[in-house]
Amino acid sequence: MASHVACTLFTLHFILFSYLCTITCGAFYEEETEAIAIKRIEKTTHLHFYFHDIVSGKNPTAIRIAGPDNYAFGGTMMADDPLTEGLEISSKAVGKAQGLYALASQNDICLLMVMNFAFTEGKYNGSSISILGRNQILNDVREMPIVGGSGLFRLAHGYALAHTVWFDKQGDATVEYNVYVSHY
């Protein structure tokens, strides 16, 4: 009987000590419990907007930061391009496309896109998604991966479909984006 009590006390002490240690000793990582993980339900949001890339004139929204002058292989641009609800650049602003695009193919016109789309309108004001993909700009529709996001788009993944609706000789362009993004 006495040894049984001692054993129980020892076990209680051990459990209590382990518990205190996990809350006081700090940890390099902690896994969220499954209960929290399964309560979150993933949803898919469809976003539709227009992207305006202006390289000409006095107020370009994209500038060349590296590579050859003539839009050849290696040419690298930094963009802060407006995103609007409608086709016209004067329509309601919904965000900015901020990041890099670069000519990444020696044989055709294919861009590496590394960009954040930061939204400034409605429910997604303050949230962003990150795109990392291959953009063959002469194709009618290009698909690019959404590799992450922030704010309401935390843990986002998905894809963007880009379709050029207008471009001119100087290289200015308006591109329609349909983005399908899964997030919590």
Summarize as ranges the residues that interact with ligand NAG (CB under 6 A).
Answer: 120-121, 125-126
Determine whether 116 is exposed, middle or buried from the number of CB atoms within 10 Å of its CB (0-12, 13-18, 19+): middle
Q: Tokens 């004001």 — which residue?
A: 125
- Smallest distance from the beta carbon of 157 to ligand NAG, in angstroms? 24
Amino acid letter at 127?
S
- Smallest distance from the beta carbon of 120 to ligand NAG, in angstroms? 6
- Smallest distance from the beta carbon of 48 to ligand NAG, in angstroms? 17
The residue nearest ligand NAG at its CB is 125
- Smallest distance from the beta carbon of 125 to ligand NAG, in angstroms? 4
3-class DSSP assignment, residue 169:
coil
- Is 74 or 126 the residue whose CB approaches ligand NAG more closely? 126
Q: Are 172 and 32 in contact (CB under 8 A)?
A: no
Q: Tokens 């006495």 — which residue?
A: 2
Q: If phi over 0 gives left and psi between -120 and 50 gives alpha, with beta otherwise, what is residue 23?
A: alpha
Strands (E), the chain: 43-53, 62-66, 76-84, 93-103, 110-119, 128-136, 142-150, 157-167, 173-183
- Is 68 or 126 the residue whose CB approaches ligand NAG more closely? 126
- Is 93 or 137 the residue whose CB approaches ligand NAG more closely? 93
**Residues 161, 145: Cα–Cα separation, whole Å:** 9
- Smallest distance from the beta carbon of 152 to ligand NAG, in angstroms? 13
- Smallest distance from the beta carbon of 97 to ligand NAG, in angstroms? 17
- Is 74 or 86 the residue whose CB approaches ligand NAG more closely? 86
- Is 120 or 182 the residue whose CB approaches ligand NAG more closely? 120
- Is 80 or 168 the residue whose CB approaches ligand NAG more closely? 80
